[in-house]
Structure 1
Amino acid sequence: MRFIMPGKKIIGRTAFLLLMGLLVFIARYVYLATPVISAYGAKIACSAVYLQHREIQTVIEEELSAFPFSIATYTLNERDASVTGSVWGFAKRKAIYREGLGATLVNDSSEAQIRAQQFRRPVKPVQYTDSIPWPNGDQLPDTLPRSINIIQLDAILQRELDDYKTVKPRHTTAVVVVYDGQLIAEKYADGYNKNTLMPGWSVAKSITAALTGILVKEGKLDVNAPAPVAEWKGTGRERITIKQLLQQTSGLDYEENYRKPGSAATMLFKKGNAAAYTVQLPLKYAPGSVFNYSSGNSNIISRIIRQATGEKNYHAFPCEWLFYKAGMYSVVLEPDASGTYVGSSFCYATARDYARFGLLYYNNGKWNNEQILPEDWVKATVQPSAADTLQQYGYQFWLNGFNKNDLTQRWYADVPADMYFADGFGGQDIYIIPSKKLIVVRLGLHVTDENKLLKEIISTIR
């Protein structure tokens, strides 16, 4: 007869329970994460194939080569213009392409329902932009400003591309520099050019803010008024203002964390209506009291824009009131399955059109003598809220910090304090530096040392 010490029994049972708990945790994580992995890859691949005209294998080798997306399989179906992702044959998710609308994930609605949606889309003006001078077109002048060391600038941009040329995913795919309103330099990685549509990710937030500004100018929205969200009536959330949504101080219980299958990943990749998902979240903080960067806030704003413009006009509104007026003919905003633009994350445009968007803000919201944005909109955009302790966020734009005597409080220590920028995942950025008369667009598949890049670009100004 064997005698087992009671202590060993307890240790054995504890180890068994810990093992079972770990297995349950892993199983739950896999259950929640695999649909996100499949959906993310399907969406990225679908947009890249049909908007960027790239081979799906190239996208898999570059954007989707890292874990956990590398464990999934992505299949292109050219007959119905779609991409399907799956993990070991499970958790299949499909993204479909529609002309003028980009890619949409099939969530909550059937594919047939999504494809049956009817939207009024604007007719793109027939423009031979190569014969129209910049910034309204793409014809560049033969002479460049004498105040710029062009040879030095060209070398800086080339080095930015060459430093990571053999790395996958490639760090930088495009850099465009505008000085005093003139496009003075641009460089593209192999396979990309001035006509290639590039993902902006959270640059979409800044575009959403601009569309909000237009509606404020037209008297259809008031940033200081409570956000018109019917679901919030009588819940305490009806106190949230549009301004608080813009400044990321709504107080909603949302976490911008993509390393786990939480609210951010759920909203973008598992739900067919991003705004409907976010508006049902409870309050975590009193509105206006805490800064919490949230793509959810941006998608609520996007739905508010849809309500303010009306169903008949909504899908044409960005082009007719913003993009086409500023010569930005390439921009594609992608909607979710409900038909609302994913105003937090899904936009594509050429590097030059991102530069034009920056130029619009640099010129205080004016283009061709037309005041597209309210006259005080840019000024309001670069004012942080009292709740933002680092003073680094305005109306869906990041700021470089406002303590001119403390470089540690700046986002980029070697860049002037008046710089503000639209910033997207992976280093998709539109930097606006009024004191240096500069706009710098940097796009890529991975972040780089952008403080160094901007410092070197600034150094070329004599």
Structure 2
Amino acid sequence: MQRLVLSWCTVASLLAAREAVAACPAGVTWPAPDWPEARASGPTVEATDEYLFTRTGRDEDREGIRTDGVVMVHRGRIIYERYARGYAQHNRHLAWSVSKSFLNAMVGVGVGRGALTVDDSICDHYDAGAELCDVTVGDLLDWGSGIDWNEGYEDEAYYLSSVIAMLYGVGSGDMAAFVAAQGLAETPGRIYRYSSGDSVLLSAVLAGALGPDLADDYPWEFIFEPIGMTSAMFERDQAGTYVGSSYVYATPRDLARFGYLFLRDGCWNGEQLVPEGWVAASTQPNPSFQKGESYEHFLRDGDAVPGRHWWLNLPVPELAHDSRWPAAPPDTFAGLGHWGQTIFVIPSADLVLVRTADDRESGVFDQNRYLELALALAAEDSP
């Protein structure tokens, strides 16, 4: 495997601070072909069931906590699994923006194979137009491209939303071209602004870097097939670009495989799939965010600290930013998606948590309480 090209100066300090599980460790349990199970029981399970799956109000009103499925993997074994609302173990679920974390991994594999580096101009691999040639692959990973973008959802007028126009409107035919056509609002790399547009453009850049031999199949060759995600689907737009912002589908058990890949520092059953160091570099506060300039204007209420297409529990005191989930250790990181999709990875607890849901009512589900219950289950399972 070729040398990983990274420009992040704080990787070493992060590695020293985190109690991460070593890459490609011996004696680790792997789900081959399926997860071993060691189901928990007792009062904590009952409390977890009650919190996650108690329906309040009419389901058709789309109110309250609306959990579809939960899988918790501790020390490589499923200790908790439950489904509701018509879902079962075999049902795929749309991951929404958890798809962005999958895209991070795929870019990492591309970097490890020497197809691109994080410092490349996006114009090296995609015809984005001269105005965007100062944007780098790393800027897109940071959500720091500077592209003019409004990540508005149901709480804003739909005609003001760039992401709705991209996914469902005038930009849906060729999403990457739509993103590039928005032009720059800020200097690339200077300001963090969460953007599904950055992610879709990054997907097109990756495909361009890989070339025609891999552009169609890289999600399966790089990630899905090596870790046994047999349920995985990844939608493309009409131009053929994988919608890396939003459209990965998989069962919760298969989503847990992906979390487990990152729990094990990109290693799977003895093979280093994602380059060594990529997980650590992706799960520190990203460079555009760390610059702090105007970040408060773009950081939405309740957001965790952004890594590179992951979300972090690390506090950033210099930016007056506390840990997002105080019940969880600071090494916790997550893929987060619309309406309650989550993959939490907690290296120091050897724990992966997957929840699929349809939480339409904002603020009802307490992720911190969920983590508190999951960590209690893991503690009871510990040898």
- Structure 1 length-normalised TM: 0.66
Aligned residue in 2 for 1:173: 68
Cα shift readout 1:436-458 (whole Å, capped 9, x = no counterpart): 21111111000621111111221
From 176, 181, 185, the counterpart of 2:80: 185
* Count of residues in Structure 1 that have an aligned counterpart in Structure 2: 324
1:250 and 2:140 correspond: no
Take 2:125 and 2:151, find their aligned partners in 1: how far apart are those partners? Answer: 22
* 8 A contact 2:128–2:177 mirrored in 1: no
Take 1:154 and 1:331, find their aligned partners in 2: how far apart are those partners? Answer: 29
Aligned residue in 2 for 1:333: 234
TM alignment of 1:197-236, pairs within 5 A = 197-227=92-122, 228=124, 230-232=126-128, 234-235=130-131
TM alignment of 1:57-72, pairs within 5 A = none
Deviation of residue 139 (structure 1)?
5.2
* 8 A contact 1:134–1:183 mirrored in 2: no
1:367 and 2:259 correspond: no
Give ranges in structure 1 of 5+ residues lacking alignment.
1-132
Aligned residue in 1 for 2:90: 195
Deviation of residue 233 (structure 1)?
5.0
From 17, 38, 46, the counterpart of 1:155: 46
Take 1:346 and 1:297, find their aligned partners in 2: how far apart are those partners? Answer: 15
Which entry has the higher C-alpha Rg, 1 or 2? 1
* 8 A contact 1:247–1:384 mirrored in 2: no
Deviation of residue 175 (structure 1)?
0.8
Take 2:370 and 2:144, find their aligned partners in 1: how far apart are those partners? Answer: 31
Question: Per the alignment, do residues 180 and 458 of structure 1 end up closer, same or farther by CA in structure 2, a change over 3 Å counting?
Answer: same
Deviation of residue 318 (structure 1)?
1.0
Aligned residue in 2 for 1:137: 33
- Specify the code of the residue in structure 1 equivalent to 2:97: S
Deviation of residue 202 (structure 1)?
0.4
Deviation of residue 405 (structure 1)?
11
1:311 and 2:212 correspond: yes
* 8 A contact 2:203–2:243 mirrored in 1: yes
Take 1:212 and 1:156, find their aligned partners in 2: how far apart are those partners? Answer: 39
- Specify the code of the residue in structure 1 equivalent to 2:332: M
TM alignment of 1:38-57, pairs within 5 A = none
SS in 1 for 2:204: helix
What RMSD, in angstroms, separates the aligned Cα atoms of the two structures? Answer: 2.3
- Specify the code of the residue in structure 1 equivalent to 2:110: L
Question: Per the alignment, do residues 156 and 311 of structure 1 end up closer, same or farther by CA in structure 2, a change over 3 Å counting?
Answer: farther
Deviation of residue 247 (structure 1)?
0.9
1:414 and 2:348 correspond: no
Aligned residue in 2 for 1:274: 175
Aligned residue in 1 for 2:301: none
1:400 and 2:313 correspond: yes
Aligned residue in 2 for 1:35: none
Question: Per the alignment, do residues 355 and 155 of structure 1 end up closer, same or farther by CA in structure 2, a change over 3 Å counting?
Answer: same
Cα shift readout 1:303-361 (whole Å, capped 9, x = no counterpart): 11221222343222211221111011101001111121111011110000110000000
SS in 2 for 1:417: coil
From 324, 349, 357, the counterpart of 1:444: 357
Q: Whose RCO is larger (CA < 8 A, sep 6+)?
A: 2
Aligned residue in 1 for 2:25: none
* 8 A contact 1:231–1:280 mirrored in 2: no
Residues 328-337 or 163-172, more deviating: 163-172
- Specify the code of the residue in structure 2 equivalent to 1:435: S
SS in 2 for 1:422: strand
Give ranges in structure 2 of 5+ residues lacking alignment.
1-28, 296-303
SS in 1 for 2:67: coil
* 8 A contact 1:153–1:185 mirrored in 2: no
